[in-house]
Amino acid sequence: MSKFDSYFLMQPADVVDYAREKVDRFAAGARLECAEIGDGNINYIFRVWEPQSEHSVVIKQAGPTARISDAFVLSTDRNRIEAEILMLGQLLAPGLVPQVYKYDEVMSCCVMEDLSDYVIMRRALIEHKTFPLFADHITTFMVNTLLLTSDVVLDHQKKKGMVKRYINPELCEITEDLVYTEPFNDYKGRNDVFAPNLEWVRQHVYGDAALRLEAAKLKFGFMTHAQALIHGDLHTGSIFIKPESTKVIDPEFAFYGPMGYDTGNIVANLIFAWANGDATLGDPLEREVFCGWAAKTLVEVVDQFNQKFLTAWPLHATEVFAREPGVDRWYLDNVLSDTAGVAGLEIFRRILGLAHVKDITSIADEGARVRAERICMQAGLQFIKQRARFRTGADFLQTLLRSAAEHPRL
């Protein structure tokens, strides 16, 4: 009889006992230590290590509610989805996700590779560190995990079975509310707008019926377009990184949705990094170096995704109509339109919504933060309302730089 025969939410002492009993990565009788290391909005994450050796693991447990708020009641099955998605990622994009050692359906927890020698990318970017290989790594990850799980490649019956297996209604509802709806009307009263920008938001966001119409179109696309097995939360807080390596983590929001949701999130979060550097780096040379890297990486992410996607298409496509001339470009153009739309949605939800990003909130100077938010939101308006015109990295960057020019430094 084991105390882990039925579910309960573990504390660090419980996690040590769990590791001794359930995890085969440590020697029998080893002295283990544990610390909670998670600071996310959803789950509980612990690091367990043996001080006398280099052995360590991360144990991630799903609670019945989100950490950000008990109002979000969630199925703990999300941890099963995450574990399976990471294991699939090991096959589709080897080296770009952490290794999973065990999934425990009773305790709703996953035991995986410890990435303590990496840093969370968002934290590193706020410190204005640069990662020259990131664009190559993340575009390989996105092309491999998105195209190879779509109807373009998979047997259609197998793909529909995967849609069923990875249905994720509770977490999708969070996205539908916090990303696609509330930033544009605050109908639940949960938005958190930086007070000096409130009137601007009322005029340019809440007061823009054309913007709400386009957001509505994007929302229905998210709810109905089972295009590929998407990560569902692919931002710089879901990436561990070091100069030579990138690891994508936290796919508990994964389900079959539009590819552009993943690609658009990466675009938006690179824009947040650029905005932070632009707002906080007082030395012009340092600002030029970091913001130049962020801008270059934004362009490279879009352009390398395009190139790799079109290269992979004829190598992997099995659908007969995928061989028709021009279908690949038509398909990619639709992904790019979604990418632009989602980039705009992510910008608004992170600036106006319930879950902010530290790239913006850590800007201490009020005037600099007001300007950074408006630069991002002005670009976001264009991404959403004119999304059909965004096809290259330069298209995205030029819109960002035009927005910055419209909001000069005071």
CA–CA dist 350, 373 (Å, integer) = 10
Write the CB contacts of 93 (distance below 8 Å, at least 6 apart in sequence): 140, 141, 144, 145, 248
Residue with tokens 């290259």: 392
Q: Residue 344 belongs to what H/E stretch?
A: helix 327-352
Residue pLDDT, tens place only, 184-196 = 998 899 999 999 9
Region 128-156: mean pLDDT is 98
Handedness of CA 331, 303, 97, 262 (dihedral sign): negative
Task: Give percent of the chain above pLDDT 90.
Answer: 89
Contact by Cβ (8 Å): 264, 345: yes
Q: Do 282 and 260 form a contact (C-beta atoms < 8 A)? A: no
**pLDDT (mean) for 277-297:** 98
d(CA 238, CA 284): 30
Q: How are the residues of the chain apportioned to helix, strand and coil, as percentages rounded to the nearest 5?
A: 55, 10, 30
| One-letter amino acid for residue 195 of the chain | A
Share the mean pLDDT of the chain.
95
The two three-digit tokens of residue 350, written as one number: 């992170």
Inform me whether the pLDDT recorded for 1 exceeds 90: no
Which pair of tokens denotes residue 262? 């993943």
Number of helices (H) and strands (E) in the chain: give both, helices first.
15, 12
**Is residue 339 scored above 80 in pLDDT?**
yes
Could you say which architecture CATH assigns to the domain 119-406?
Alpha-Beta Complex (3.90)
Q: Output the pLDDT for position 68.
A: 65
Q: Report the alpha-carbon distance of residue 249 to residue 73 in Å, rounded.
A: 22
Q: What is the mean pLDDT of residues 74-99?
A: 93
Domain residue spans in the chain? 3-113, 119-406
Task: With beta carbons less than 8 A apart as the criterion, state whether 5 and 21 touch.
Answer: no
Given a cut of 80, whether residue 88 has pLDDT beyond it is: yes
pTM over the 0.85 mark: yes
One-letter amino acid for residue 359 of the chain: D
Q: Pick the residue with more confidence: 74 or 286?
A: 286
DSSP 11: P
In the CATH hierarchy, which fold is given to the domain comprising 3-113?
Phosphorylase Kinase; domain 1 (3.30.200)
Report the pLDDT value the prediction gives residue 27, as an integer from 0 to 100: 85
Amino acid letter, 259: M
**Distance, CA of 12 to CA of 15 (rounded, Å):** 5
What type of residue sits at position 254?
A
3-state secondary structure of 2: coil
Interatomic CA distance for residues 278 and 284, integer angstroms: 9
- pLDDT tens digits, residue range 5-31? 999 999 999 999 999 999 998 988 889
Question: Exposure of 405 by Cβ count < 10 A (0-12 exposed, 13-18 middle, 19+ buried)?
Answer: exposed
